[in-house]
Amino acid sequence: MFDEYFKESEVKPEFSKEFISLWGGGLGKENYHKLDEVTEDEWGQFNSLLRSIAERFSLEAVNLEECSLAKVCDIESVLSSYEESMNKESSAFVRLVLPELECVISEDWDYTYIIWHKNNGAVESLSPYIRAEGLAHFHS
């Protein structure tokens, strides 16, 4: 199953990216200061999003070192607190596969998550959950 989504430690190139962000688009260098202004509540919107998604879809946690996927039985086990996330290395970022939607959701460094999808309706299926948490999504 891992090989359907990843080649070594990277999402396969045939997947498109849809970004989930606190902002409606890419920040650009002139707005990087906003990264330092993110509050705990704003950051928590991503955990709320993942909780909402977990209520509807099955999730599998990605282990890049072992090239494996493991069913997530308790979403809280993969979420980080605000404090933990501030000091987290990129190797510890959340990466989840949603088998039903044939997509990957991965955490990125700038308060952004990425939906890696194959233009098969995954973004449309996740969009109501994204909006309900007050987040935006866009592709570039």
Question: What's residue 27's pLDDT?
Answer: 67
Going residue by residue through the chain (140 aa), what tens digit of pLDDT does each one get? 899 999 988 999 999 999 999 887 666 677 666 666 778 898 899 999 999 999 999 999 999 999 999 999 999 999 998 888 877 888 889 999 999 999 999 998 778 899 999 999 999 999 999 999 999 999 87
d(CA 21, CA 80): 17
Question: What's residue 114's pLDDT?
Answer: 96
Give the start-to-end residue ranges of the domains of the chain: 2-25+33-99+130-135
Strand partners, 67: none
| Contact in structure between 98 and 58 (CB atoms under 8 Å) | yes
pTM greater than 0.85 (yes/no): yes
